[in-house]
Amino acid sequence: MVLKENEKKALKELKRALSEKFEILDFRLFGSKARGTSGPGSDLDVMIELPESDAQIEAQIDNIIFKINLENDVFLSAVFFGTKELQEGPMTESPLYKVIREEGITI
The CB density around residue 96, as the number of other CB atoms within 10 Å, is 13
Q: CA–CA separation, 86 vs 50, rounded Å?
A: 10
Residues near 91 by Cβ (< 8 Å), separated by ≥ 6? 81, 85, 97
The total number of structural domains in the chain stands at 1
pTM, two decimals, is 0.90
Domain that holds residue 53: 5-106
pLDDT (0 to 100) of residue 94: 85
CATH number at residue 36: 3.30.460.10
Q: CA–CA separation, 50 vs 85, rounded Å?
A: 10
Write out pLDDT tens, residues 60-73. 999 999 999 999 99
pLDDT band at 6 (very low <50, low <70, confident <90, very high): very high
| In the predicted structure, residue 92 carries a pLDDT above the cut 90 | no
pLDDT (0 to 100) of residue 13: 98
Q: CA–CA separation, 24 vs 49, rounded Å?
A: 6
